[in-house]
Structure 1
Amino acid sequence: MKKNLLIAPIAIAISASVLLSGCDDKDNVKPEQQIGADPVLPAAKNFLLPPMQVPKGVGWKENQLPKVAEDLKIEKVADGFLHPRQLYTLPNGDVLVVEANGPGTEPVTSPKQLIAGLVQGKSGKSGKGGNRITLLRQNGEHQWEKHTFLEHLNSPFGVQLIGDTLYVANTDSIMKYHYQTGDTQITDPGKELADLPDRVNHHWTKSLLASPDGKLLYVGVGSNSNIAENGLDIEYRRAAVLEVDVATGASRIFASGLRNPTGLQWEPQTGKLWTIVNERDEIGANLVPDYLTSVEDGGFYGWPYSYFGQHIDQRVKAQRPDLVAKAIKPDYALSSHVAPLGLLFYSGSALPADYQGGAFISEHGSWNRSPLSGYQVTYVSFKQGKPVGVPKPVVTGFVSDDQKELHGAPVGLAVDKSGALLVADDVGNTVWRVSAK
């Protein structure tokens, strides 16, 4: 305990000089130059602590709404959630809202960890999580009713339905529950299908996706560090996409070197697996771009040794040139520190044509650069199974114009039975619905 008390003044003193220099981190690279297949990557800058700009979480005022593109409209589905993170639409049109945040509060053991905690608290991003799933159902008057669907979970994130079995990815395991169409509550304790790497210091979320035939589950597992500074032993089965056999619970590493794959989806035209990835920090406001990429079986994507292909991270000691040589360059950069947390390929027809056939991406937003980046839902067009062009802002207005106040932050995405886009907002504790005007 004394050690933690000593860290605080040290961290504050260090941050004063580091953050001031960090906010003047000029490298003549504009965020828009870091979007697409060939982003501009400036020289790395080493910071003991990253530069910060943290808007104050204030939530939404009565009748206040996010902004949407001119051919769309937005409405509130429901609010009052406890940190809604993911959304999942059941075959009958009911919508599951996964409410959670990281497990426990761990001892502060470094200045960097202290600053990260302060950041989360100030931005409102670590509000109390429900550790539950709430079900939303439209009644005959098109009002959304809330039902407590499943409780006593352990920092849940991903959810998938295969047949009559609902799979939930807690931070430490995949659980399975019997589900009957129309259920508004699950009361059975469930059974564990497979264990997952538990959280220690970083990245507790476990994204989840079923294979089209329902025989396999794919799990996105983030790293337990920024660049393996805590050693590689605790990174076992981390920074990877795992493949889990539904029949037996046996798992293998499907792809690796993905620092934090927070969303998994099948691209409808090619049938390939795609993910969004949160990349590393502390080497500059414009490094490293987060990205969207297809995922190859057995593929290695660089972490921690290199980024965006074979750009070596000089901070990582005991390098592995053999792995760097194999590192796959991501398909599409999203710009640095936008923190993508939601991915959805849209195959419906209810939204305007400009939003059909591509991917919606929710950018939860930066805390370690100035000016801010992210804090929006964008749409990336696809052509012949590949992303093209630049992202189109779809939902914005989560941050005040002066970037000092944070009303909301987008996370999970889903499509309701009418084809409208649903957005989970874990700062405003709201679910939003975006439809054609």
Structure 2
Amino acid sequence: MNKKIFFALCLSVFATGGLLSFKLIKSDNSFSGPQTVKSGLTLPDGFQAAIIADNLGSARHLVATPQGDIYVHLAGTKNGKGILMLHVDGDKATLKSSFANFGGTGIAIKNGYLYASNNREVYRYKLDDKNEVINPDKPERIVTGLIDRRTHAPKAIELDNDGNLYVNIGAYSNICSEFDPNKTGCPILDSAAGIWQFKADKPNQTYGDGVRYAAGLRNVVGLAWNQQDNQLFVMQHGRDELHNLFPNLYTVHQSTELPAECMFALKKGDNAGWPYVYYDWMQQKNMLGPEYGGDGKKPADSKYINPVAAYPGHYAPDGLLFYTGNQFPEKYKNGAFIAFHGSWNRAPEPQAGYCVVFQPFKDGKPDGKWEVFADGFAGTEEQKASGHAVHRPCGLAQGPDGSLYVTDDNQGTIYKITYKKQ
């Protein structure tokens, strides 16, 4: 073999986490490869990452229990099941059970129940004192009849401390122009593009039983309840195609960087402004959208809330977690980790994202510049730039020992990130 080809192949195998040599072990229900398998991730000094499971299916959000188990929600079913329960022992995850005849994204544990969503409903399962599902074949349906128009259909969920359930209802549109030809008002805002609040213990609720908690949010996949200030935080996917739709107002470069992906701290009744508003992270202000009279310079109406933090355009934030553990250094305590799924629409610029970033917090609010925490999911630089990423981060969970779990919904990989003092 040509030496240059051999060397390039070795680099590719290393950059993709050694996946060419990775073997899925099924004889003992283990989804973990040998501990010598490299994760391929780059991390700050003192941190390590291990691949503890692979080939699971399209692994979306996940949640960890105090007993060392994790529940992983798959986007679709695999072997007829949409939720996997695995036990984590060190750098090895072993399948304990699988259940649910539906795929989806949202999953959470609260007050003795496991909650999980598909694109139209939210269910819950009663847990025993070991946080294991008691009757996996008979979940209780909590919410039904949610809008599913395929575009931005996944329903992410979160729960507060007062018995409320929050569900994202994504807008089935980029900027509502096809539903609002006269630019007089977006008619889908009454049933989409927002966060709906329901009772966490009331069965068979529909839109009429819920409350539109916050409006003007194009699509939210990452939600997390901030215990420091008892408030819901969300990550919004910003709009697309500023240059393609308005080439006289926006350059190609502006369209790749704008609008920002935004973090919002929500209170009941807040309106983030979609479709009329987008956030320009370079000018650091809300702008009036060009479809509604904007020109890249006109500011938005002040009635719309500002984000509390902003990130480059089209990174696609799919996971949000507030870190409350004690394993990581003190700087990470109560800060936010964000899983960026990665872009598809930054051409002709290289595609970007495909990473987990850390946003420092102080007193329950973002404080300081965000930083890339874990990178290398996409594989080689060529794979990343072209958008042909090997792995794409999606869900985040904190283990009982303070470890950080990250799902990848492309290859079905789960990473465990740990810290060891030097």
Which TM-score band (shorter chain)?
0.7 to 0.9
For residue 191 of structure 2, what is the aligned residue in structure 1? Answer: 237
Match of 2:118 among 165, 170, 181: 170
Determine the C-alpha separation between the residues in 1 that align with 2:85 and 2:57: 13
Report the RMSD for the aligned CA atoms in angstroms: 2.6
Tell me whether 1:295 sits opposite 2:266 in the alignment. Answer: yes
For residue 315 of structure 2, what is the aligned residue in structure 1? Answer: 338
Tell me, yes or no, if the aligned pair for 1:71 and 1:352 is still in contact at 8 Å.
no
Match of 1:281 among 235, 240, 264: 240
Moved more, 185-194 or 370-379: 185-194
Equivalent position amino acid for 1:98 in 2: H
Determine the C-alpha separation between the residues in 1 that align with 2:353 and 2:68: 30
Tell me whether 1:421 sits opposite 2:404 in the alignment. Answer: yes
For residue 40 of structure 1, what is the aligned residue in structure 2? Answer: none
Question: Secondary structure at 2:175's aligned position in 1?
Answer: coil
Structure 2 stretches of 5 or more lacking a match? 1-15, 22-36, 180-185, 243-254, 280-284
For residue 46 of structure 1, what is the aligned residue in structure 2? Answer: none
Question: Secondary structure at 1:149's aligned position in 2?
Answer: strand
Determine the C-alpha separation between the residues in 2 that align with 1:83 and 1:71: 30
Q: CA deviation at 1:186?
A: 4.2
Match of 2:350 among 348, 362, 371: 371
Moved more, 235-244 or 70-79: 235-244
Tell me, yes or no, if the aligned pair for 1:100 and 1:129 is still in contact at 8 Å.
no
Q: CA deviation at 1:185?
A: 7.2
Tell me, yes or no, if the aligned pair for 1:344 and 1:360 is still in contact at 8 Å.
yes
Q: CA deviation at 1:93?
A: 2.7
Tell me, yes or no, if the aligned pair for 2:319 and 2:338 is still in contact at 8 Å.
yes
Tell me whether 1:195 sits opposite 2:195 in the alignment. Answer: no
Match of 1:70 among 25, 29, 45: 45
Tell me, yes or no, if the aligned pair for 1:257 and 1:303 is still in contact at 8 Å.
yes
Determine the C-alpha separation between the residues in 2 that align with 1:350 and 1:162: 23
Query: Taking CA–CA contacts closer than 8 Å with sequence separation of 6 or more, which of the two structures ends up with the larger relative contact order?
Result: 1
Tell me, yes or no, if the aligned pair for 2:226 and 2:233 is still in contact at 8 Å.
yes
Determine the C-alpha separation between the residues in 2 that align with 1:187 and 1:270: 35
Equivalent position amino acid for 1:407 in 2: V
Determine the C-alpha separation between the residues in 1 that align with 2:401 and 2:199: 32
Moved more, 395-404 or 255-264: 395-404
For residue 357 of structure 1, what is the aligned residue in structure 2? Answer: 334
Equivalent position amino acid for 2:139 in 1: G
Alpha-carbon spacing, 1:178–1:242, altered in 2? closer, same or farther (3 Å): same
Determine the C-alpha separation between the residues in 1 that align with 2:112 and 2:124: 10
Q: CA deviation at 1:393?
A: 1.4
Moved more, 419-428 or 157-166: 157-166
Determine the C-alpha separation between the residues in 1 that align with 2:59 and 2:134: 18
1:39-58 matches, cutoff 5 A: none
Alpha-carbon spacing, 1:144–1:360, altered in 2? closer, same or farther (3 Å): same
Tell me, yes or no, if the aligned pair for 1:220 and 1:263 is still in contact at 8 Å.
no
Determine the C-alpha separation between the residues in 2 that align with 1:247 and 1:394: 37
Moved more, 289-298 or 324-333: 324-333
Tell me, yes or no, if the aligned pair for 2:356 and 2:374 is still in contact at 8 Å.
yes
Equivalent position amino acid for 2:171 in 1: S
Question: Secondary structure at 2:331's aligned position in 1?
Answer: helix
User: Structure 2-normalised TM-score?
Assistant: 0.77
1:199-238 matches, cutoff 5 A: 199-213=148-162, 215-231=163-179, 232-238=186-192
Moved more, 402-411 or 338-347: 402-411
Tell me whether 1:401 sits opposite 2:371 in the alignment. Answer: no
Moved more, 128-137 or 215-224: 128-137
Question: How many corresponding residue pairs?
Answer: 349
Q: Percent identity?
A: 29
User: Structure 1-normalised TM-score?
Assistant: 0.74
Q: CA deviation at 1:362?
A: 0.6
Structure 1 stretches of 5 or more lacking a match? 1-57, 104-127
Equivalent position amino acid for 2:276 in 1: Y
Determine the C-alpha separation between the residues in 2 that align with 1:206 and 1:129: 22
Q: CA deviation at 1:98?
A: 0.6
Tell me whether 1:384 sits opposite 2:388 in the alignment. Answer: no
